[in-house]
């Protein structure tokens, strides 16, 4: 009897080349000399994954044989980035694969460049999920990621005359070599209809759901390899299909066109990722997406525990579901429904276990970003869940009234149901009521979350609140993105730091070592040279060779204050062109922006247009081209981040204090030896604490000062009137100088700054300019700068997502006692 593979293909150049040709010839049915680059890329991908297969099967089997409590990460987004490099790193097959391709006369790097990254996320939250599953695999934590297999991920951004134009992201169009579809394991998901009371076989009065329609969820499995440790975990993404039952009913009725329409309707559910990344719109399809993937995932997991003949009243001994923001919070009433309606449990027993199975991570501080779903919509789409939510809320509000008698205002604030402006379910409240823990994503954020966003809940349950500061995976963001720095680190402190990032501390003494710092500078320069050549090829952008590289890459949001960066650039331009500074006193800079705007976010799109306008004007002005350049490559994504971040000298983290929950780009830059100019916000606070004040450029109001200014009443124009440098910069922007003489084109942004400026860019402007002057002075001192850069790397080991996972395990998932 044939046995399952215990080893993959042979780990030699010949073995790899043979496996590759097998894929190409016998799986794809293509001869090498007739094959296209796409054929070759697909065969290469399938060859590499073949080496992971045995470990994958073995990991799954090991977990089944020894069932323990697992982590179920529930996230509507996974911003994975390209898979090939990561798989090669995990298997340590990079050299063998490259030589094998060369032996066949193929260009390995060209093949790697074919991959379209799976952009199944918007930004920080989605990328965080991807880092976390990487760490869980690298730490061999029994875990599974659940999410949605969007057919279209985050849109591809293009610019037309400086304005953002969105193009659909057809990432599956070349074929999908990294995924494993399992249509045989489809799960049914119901929607709509009504509920009714009935008497069951034992004479008990119960309620049940009579749904109106359904779809099926097809699981697609992705391998999540640990770092060279023989572990391969699973990411299970769900894709929506029409159900047979539904199909047949309509087809048999003879209405062929209607049946085809119904199919399309069902498949719409996983069609596209919503590109809003903080102001949620109450769109019906979005709620369908959320329920769809959560229902599939819970069913999937419960069936798995039942295979083991496990008693569901102890389900919390088998799973803790981590809710990545409120997007999967409908899982809470769904768990209650499954336990009661499908598995016969009473309310009390079901609630008892449900409240131990979920924990909630909040990623925001902006009140407008808190998700609410209209009761009308929820009742229409998920009537049974709405009933369950009402009951959870009733019992919860009894608890509140008991703890705070006579405080009906508090009851209203804490209710899971909001009454105004319309009746709606507050998903964060529901998650807080049901979750074992609620965590923020950086120390400051967790504090503000507890004291400002959910203070009533903190008063009731102070111990429910905790912090887990975000982290990033050093495998992708140092080892893969910055190979030269990685080699330098390994040559200096030895191997193993990739999975024990605090070991970067051992670099500290080398901050004063002439040979080391010289190598470190060379690495940074090589990364800059590589970036210049990439931007030249990718975008036709030609950048000067020697200039400080000042980078601001993140989603476009007013609170992140890309306009503050723009005001600095305009101010520098004005200083040079008006002769206010001597040319020889200017430190040449290249500014790089990367940012997508939500397609419906008007102001964000105006800001993109204005940045592009300034970039163009500067590029065409011979008075400044030797001293400054602005590059705004379109379509910033994980692939570009991996090239950009290692090249940066200066990292811009300039959100208004109290608005950025954490930031994770800030960590990636510090770990790659950029210095940060930043506000006292999010994880910047912890970065500064760790790297030291002298290696960080702090500016701007502190959060309490922001709150005080808002209370006093903020008038941006008073800052404009009283600060000549600010007035000059704004006047120049407003004059139409950067917009072909047309003042109206700059007006939306300028007017907003002068008359609203919700995020107080003008109030922080002077402080920002002063900090930028300190940056210039520091950069002139080459040795001092390099020393600071080295210390940023050496002291940022805390920001490994492995440490984040340890914290989740210790504080939330598997606490001792
Ligand atoms: C919700 C409902 C409907 C449509 C879209 C959404 C939606 C989608 C994505 C709402 C929010 C997001 C993403 C939020 C996000 O990325 N937040 C960031 O999370 C990072 C990881 O914790 C933090 O570092 C950032 O500070 C935070 O802004």
Q: Is 472 in the pocket of ligand 1 (CB under 6 A)?
A: no
Ligand 1 center to 326 CA (angstroms): 10
The answer to whether residue 563 is domain-embedded is yes
Residue 755, CA distances (Å) to 141, 501, 720 in order: 52, 46, 10
Least confident of 205-209, 255-259, 790-794: 255-259
Least confident of 279-283, 309-313, 329-333, 350-354: 279-283
Mean pLDDT over 439-454 rounds to 98
Q: Which domain holds residue 87?
A: 1-66+83-116
Percent of the chain with pLDDT over 70: 98
Q: Ligand 1 mean position to 80 CA, how many Å?
A: 15
139 lines ligand 1 (CB under 6 A): no
Instruction: Report whether residue 287 contacts ligand 1, using a CB cutoff of 6 Å.
Output: no
In a 10 Å sphere around its CB, with 0-12 CB exposed, 13-18 middle and 19+ buried, how is residue 715 labelled? middle
What is the number of alpha carbons within 13 Å of residue 342 lying toward its C-beta? 16
Please check whether residue 295 is in contact with residue 334, taking contact to mean a CB–CB distance below 8 angstroms. yes
Predicted pLDDT at 631? 98
CA dist., res. 798 & res. 497, Å (int): 12
Whole-angstrom distance, CA of residue 707 vs CA of residue 760: 11
Which value does ipTM take for this structure? 0.99
Q: What confidence score (pLDDT) does residue 247 get? A: 61
Clarify whether residues 552 and 648 are in a common domain: yes
Same domain, 72 and 163: yes
Q: Is the pLDDT of residue 811 over 80?
A: yes
Q: Does the beta carbon of 664 lie inside 6 Å of ligand 1? A: yes
Residue 271 a catalytic site member: no
Residue among 664, 676, 679, 739 flagged as catalytic: 664
> Could you tell me the distance, in angstroms and rounded to a whole number, from the CA of residue 428 to the centre of ligand 1?
14
Render pLDDT for 54-76 as a digit per residue (tens, 0 to 9): 999 999 999 999 999 999 999 99
Are 482 and 433 contained in the same domain? no
| Rounded average pLDDT over 452-479 | 98
Tens of pLDDT, residue by residue over 510-531, are 999 999 999 999 999 999 999 9
Q: Supply angle C-alpha 680, 683, 684, rounded to 5.
A: 40
User: Residues 487, 488, 494, 497: is their CA dihedral positive or negative?
Assistant: negative
23 close to ligand 1 (CB < 6 Angstrom)? no
Question: What band does 773 get if pLDDT is binned at 50, 70 and 90?
Answer: very high
- Report the nearest-CA residue for atom 4 of ligand 1: 280
Could you count the other beta carbons within 10 Å of the beta carbon of residue 85?
20
- The sign of the CA dihedral 270, 275, 276, 277 is positive
What average pLDDT does range 554-564 have in this prediction? 98
**CA pair distance 110, 346, nearest whole angstrom:** 60
- What does the pLDDT read at residue 106? 98
In a domain, 256, yes or no: yes
Average pLDDT on 358-381 reads 96
pLDDT, position 262: 81
Ligand 1 pocket check for 243: Cβ under 6 Å: no
Residue with CA closest to ligand 1 atom 13: 277
Q: Does the active-site annotation cover 554?
A: yes
Q: Whose CA is nearest to atom 19 of ligand 1?
A: 125
Give pTM, 2 decimals: 0.98
Cβ–ligand 1 distance for 122 under 6 Å, the answer: yes
For residue 765, which of 564, 615, 617, 626 has the smallest C-alpha distance? 564
Distance of CA 368 to the CA centre of its chain: 19
Cα–Cα distance, 127 to 637 (Å, whole number): 10
pLDDT level of residue 246 (50, 70, 90 thresholds): low
Q: 664 with 643: CB under 8 angstroms?
A: no
Residue 502 lies in a domain: no
Tell me: do 376 and 282 sit in the same domain. Answer: yes
| Tokens 């329409």, residue located | 261
Rounded CA-CA distance 552/776 in Å is 17
Q: What phi and psi values does residue 354 have, to the nearest 5 degrees?
A: -60, -40
User: Is residue 77 situated within a structural domain?
Assistant: yes
| One domain for residues 480 and 421 | no
Q: Which residues pair with 465 in a beta bridge?
A: 438
Is residue 660 in contact with ligand 1, taking CB distance under 6 Å?
yes
- Pair (104, 198) in one structural domain: no
Q: For residue 424, give the CATH number of its domain.
A: 3.40.50.2000
Quote the percentage of the chain above a pLDDT of 90.
95
Indicate if 37 and 170 belong to the same structural domain.
no
Ligand 1 pocket residue status of 371, Cβ below 6 Å: yes
Mutate to test the pocket of ligand 1, among 121, 122, 130, 444 (most ligand atoms within 8 A of CB): 122
Output the CA 121–ligand 1 centroid distance in Å: 9
Tell me, yes or no, whether 56 and 72 share the same domain: no
Whether residue 1 has pLDDT greater than 60? no
From the candidates 555, 565, 643, 803, which is the catalytic residue?
A: 555
Contact 69, 318 (CB under 8 A): yes
Q: Does the structure show a pLDDT above 70 at 762?
A: yes
CA of 135 to the centre of ligand 1 (A): 20
Mean pLDDT of 565-578: 98
Query: In this model, does residue 225 exceed pLDDT 70?
Result: yes
Ligand 1 within 6 A of 804 CB? Answer: no
Please classify residue 374 by burial: count the beta carbons closer than 10 Å to its beta carbon, then call 0-12 exposed, 13-18 middle and 19+ buried: middle
Pocket test for ligand 1, best of 74, 125, 679 (most atoms within 8 A of CB): 125
Measure 336 CA to ligand 1 centroid, in angstroms: 27
pLDDT band at 303 (very low <50, low <70, confident <90, very high): very high
557 is annotated as an active-site residue:
no
Task: Give the residue, by CA position, lying nearest to ligand 1 atom 12.
Answer: 277
Distance 751 CA to ligand 1 centre (A): 28
Verify whether ligand 1 is closer than 6 Å to residue 124 (CB atom).
yes
The answer to whether residue 500 is domain-embedded is: no
Name beta bridge partners: 158. Answer: 165
Distance CA 322, CA 320 (A): 6
Contact 591, 631 (CB under 8 A): yes
Instruction: Give the pLDDT confidence score for residue 82 in this predicted structure.
Output: 98
Which residues neighbour 298 within 8 Å (Cβ) at sequence distance 6 or greater? 331, 334, 335, 338
Strand segments (E) across 226-374: 232-242, 319-324, 358-361, 372-374
Domain presence at residue 503: no
Cα 367 to ligand 1 centre (Å)? 13
**Residues 748-766, mean pLDDT to the nearest whole number:** 98
Q: Is residue 281 over pLDDT 90?
A: no
pLDDT in tens, 381-395: 999 999 999 999 999
Over residues 85-113, the mean pLDDT reads 98
Residue 268 Cα to ligand 1 middle (Å): 23
Are 402 and 462 members of one domain?
Answer: yes
What is the predicted pLDDT for the residue at 278? 74
Q: Which atom of ligand 1 is nearest to the CA of 123?
A: 16
Check if 682 has its Cβ closer than 6 Å to any atom of ligand 1.
yes
Cα 150 to middle of ligand 1, angstroms: 17
Residue 196, in any domain of the structure: yes
pLDDT for position 251: 65
* Mutational test site, ligand 1, from 277, 365, 366, 678, max ligand atoms within 8 Å of CB: 277
> Atom 15 in ligand 1: which residue has the minimum CA distance?
125
Ligand 1, atom 1, lies closest to the CA of 280
Reply yes or no on whether 452 is catalytic. no
Task: For strands 78-79 and 119-120, give the pairing.
Answer: antiparallel
Q: Measured between alpha carbons, how far is 166 from 556 in angstroms, rounded to an integer? A: 14
Band of residue 6 on the pLDDT scale cut at 50, 70, 90: confident
Residue 290 reports pLDDT greater than 80: yes
Q: How many domains does the chain have?
A: 3
pLDDT, position 2 = 63
Ligand 1 site, residue 397, Cβ cutoff 6 A:
no
Predicted confidence (pLDDT) at residue 280 exceeds the cutoff of 80: no
Q: Which of 668, 688, 737, 795 is catalytic?
A: 668
Give the mutation target among 364, 657, 682 for probing the ligand 1 site: most ligand atoms within 8 A of CB: 364
Mean pLDDT computed over 253-273: 87
pLDDT range class, residue 259, cuts 50, 70, 90: confident
Same domain, yes or no: 62 and 74: no
What is the Å distance from ligand 1's center to 661 Cα? 10
- Helix 37-65 / helix 84-91 crossing angle, nearest 10 deg: 50
Per-residue model confidence (pLDDT) at position 576: 98
Confidence band for 3, pLDDT divided at 50, 70 and 90? low
Could you tell me if residue 337 is inside a domain?
Answer: yes
Same domain, 454 and 484: no
> Exactly one of 318, 363, 445, 688 is catalytic; which is it?
363
Q: Does the pLDDT of residue 339 top 90, yes or no?
A: yes
Is the CB–ligand 1 distance for residue 665 below 6 Å?
Answer: no
- Say yes or no: 538 and 427 in one domain: no
The mean pLDDT value of the chain amounts to: 97
Q: How far apart are CA 304 and CA 452, in angstroms?
A: 40
Separation of 77 CA from ligand 1 center, angstroms? 9
The one catalytic residue among 127, 450, 524, 560 = 560
Contact 673, 792 (CB under 8 A): yes
Q: Contact at 8 Å (CB) between 683 and 707?
A: no
* Per-residue pLDDT at 102: 98
Known active-site residue 363: yes
274 lines ligand 1 (CB under 6 A): yes
Catalytic residue flag (residue 399): no
- CA–centroid distance, residue 347 to ligand 1 (Å): 33
């Amino acid at each position: 009897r044939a046995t399952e593979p215990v080893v993959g293909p042979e780990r030699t150049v010949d073995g790899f080349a043979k496996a590759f040709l097998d894929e190409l010839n016998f799986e794809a049915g293509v001869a090498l000399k007739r094959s296209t680059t796409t054929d070759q890329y697909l065969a290469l991908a399938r060859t590499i994954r073949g080496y992971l297969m045995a470990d994958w099967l073995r990991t799954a089997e090991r977990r089944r044989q020894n069932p323990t409590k697992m982590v179920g990460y529930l996230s509507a987004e996974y911003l994975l980035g390209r898979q090939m490099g990561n798989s090669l790193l995990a298997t340590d097959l990079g050299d063998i694969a490259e030589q094998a391709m060369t032996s066949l006369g193929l260009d390995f790097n060209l093949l790697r460049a074919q991959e379209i990254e799976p952009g199944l996320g918007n930004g920080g939250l989605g990328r965080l999920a991807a880092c976390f599953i990487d760490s869980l695999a690298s730490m061999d934590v029994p875990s599974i990621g659940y999410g949605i297999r969007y057919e279209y991920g985050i849109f591809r951004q293009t610019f037309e005359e400086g304005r953002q134009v969105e193009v659909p992201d057809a990432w599956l169009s070349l074929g999908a070599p990294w995924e494993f579809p399992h249509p045989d394991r489809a799960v049914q998901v119901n929607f709509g209809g009504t509920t009714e009371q009935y008497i069951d076989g034992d004479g008990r009065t119960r309620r049940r759901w009579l749904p109106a329609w359904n779809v099926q969820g097809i699981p697609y499995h992705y391998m999540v390899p640990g770092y060279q440790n023989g572990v391969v975990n699973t990411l299970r993404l769900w894709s929506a299909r029409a159900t047979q039952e539904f199909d047949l009913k309509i087809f048999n009725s003879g209405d062929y066109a209607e049946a085809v329409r119904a199919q399309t309707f069902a498949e719409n559910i996983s069609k596209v990722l919503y590109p809003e990344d903080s102001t949620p719109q109450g769109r019906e399809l979005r709620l369908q997406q959320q329920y769809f993937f959560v229902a599939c995932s819970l069913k999937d997991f419960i069936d798995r525990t039942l295979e083991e003949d496990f008693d569901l009243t102890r389900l919390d001994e088998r799973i803790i579901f981590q809710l990545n923001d409120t997007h999967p919070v409908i899982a809470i009433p769904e768990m209650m429904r499954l336990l009661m309606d499908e598995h016969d449990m009473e309310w009390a027993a079901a609630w008892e276990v449900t409240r131990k199975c979920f924990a909630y991570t909040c990623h925001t501080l902006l009140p407008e970003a808190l998700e609410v779903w209209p009761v009308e919509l929820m009742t229409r789409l998920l009537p049974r869940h709405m009933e369950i939510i009402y009951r959870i809320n009733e019992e919860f509000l009894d608890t509140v009234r008991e703890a705070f008698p006579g405080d009906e205002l508090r009851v209203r604030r804490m209710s899971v149901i909001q009454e105004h402006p319309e009746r709606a379910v507050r998903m964060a409240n529901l998650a807080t009521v049901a979750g074992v823990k609620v965590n923020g994503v950086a120390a400051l954020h967790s504090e503000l979350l507890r004291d400002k966003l959910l203070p009533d809940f903190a008063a009731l349950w102070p111990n429910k609140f905790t912090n887990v500061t975000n982290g990033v995976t050093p495998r992708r963001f140092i080892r893969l993105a910055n190979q030269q720095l990685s080699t330098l680190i390994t040559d200096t402190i030895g191997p193993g730091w990739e999975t024990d990032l605090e070991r970067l501390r051992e670099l500290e003494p080398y901050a004063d070592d002439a040979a080391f710092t010289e190598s470190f500078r060379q690495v940074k320069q090589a990364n800059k040279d590589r970036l210049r050549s990439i931007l030249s090829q990718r975008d036709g952008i030609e950048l000067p060779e020697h200039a400080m590289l000042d980078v601001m890459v993140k989603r476009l949001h007013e609170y992140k204050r890309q306009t503050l960066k723009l005001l600095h650039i305009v101010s520098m331009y004005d200083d040079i062109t008006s002769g206010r500074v001597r040319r020889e006193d200017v430190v040449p800079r290249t500014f790089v922006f990367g940012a997508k705007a939500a397609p419906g976010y008007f102001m964000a799109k105006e800001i993109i247009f204005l940045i592009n306008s300034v970039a163009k004007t500067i590029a065409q002005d011979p008075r400044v081209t030797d001293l400054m350049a602005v590059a705004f490559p379109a379509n910033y994504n994980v692939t570009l981040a991996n090239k950009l971040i290692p090249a940066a000298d200066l990292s811009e983290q300039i959100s208004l204090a109290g608005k950025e929950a954490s930031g994770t780009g800030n960590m990636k830059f510090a770990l790659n030896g950029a210095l940060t100019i930043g506000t006292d916000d999010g994880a910047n606070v912890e970065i500064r604490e760790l790297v030291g004040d002298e290696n960080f450029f702090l500016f701007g109001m502190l959060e309490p000062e922001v709150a005080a200014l808002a209370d006093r009443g903020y008038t941006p124009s008073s800052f404009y009137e009283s600060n000549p440098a600010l007035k000059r910069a704004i006047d120049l922007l407003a004059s139409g100088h950067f917009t072909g003489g047309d003042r109206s084109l700059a007006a939306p942004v300028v007017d907003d700054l002068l008359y609203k400026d919700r995020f107080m860019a003008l109030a922080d402007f002077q402080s920002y300019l002063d900090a930028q002057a300190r940056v210039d002075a520091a950069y002139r001192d080459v040795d001092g700068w390099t020393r600071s850069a080295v210390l940023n790397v050496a002291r940022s080991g805390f920001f490994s997502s492995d440490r984040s996972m340890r914290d989740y395990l210790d504080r939330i998932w598997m606490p001792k006692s």
